[in-house]
Amino acid sequence: MSKRIGFYSGSFDPITLGHLDIIRRSFRVVDHVVVGIGVHASKKAMLTFEDRKRLIEQETAQMAQEAGGQVSVVSFDGLVVEAARAAGAQLILRGLRGMSDFEYESQMVGMNAILAPDVETAFLTASPALQVISSTLVRQIAAMGGELTQFVPQSVADALLAHFAEKS
């Protein structure tokens, strides 16, 4: 039996409890989740690729083991469908927080279907308690010294606090 591989892309700057919920639930449909961190020269990430990769690997290791699956982390700077193909994925995994996400994502599905008809896309809606979380808002809360552990794991909160402490 061949391994079912799913590709979950984003900036993960930082990874949130919402992202982790999607990865955990992805194991219901795939055996291996490849987390693709989009790296764009025009966008300046707050956390380095290495930090984001380390945090994702750290926070997903136990859930992958419990699911009998695997998580790997890669970087990419081109089209998601090309990165998914390069990872051997047959499925692109997308998390939805609400209707506005659905409208944007459904356009992307249409474009991706034209570019790569052999790669399917599946939507997983965020768990209700996690739908309000976004990396952008987490960064803003971190920059203002707010409490983060309702939105990110402790390891991520620590990394964000360290980042802002260095900037002070």
For the annotated catalytic residues, the residue numbers are 19, 43, 97, 135
How far apart, in Å, are the Cα atoms of 71 and each of 35, 58, 76, 130? 7, 10, 16, 21
Cα–Cα dist 49/36, whole Å: 11
Q: What are phi and psi of 111, to 5 degrees?
A: -65, -45
Q: What is the DSSP letter of 46?
A: S
CB-based burial label for 159 (10 Å; 0-12, 13-18, 19+) = buried
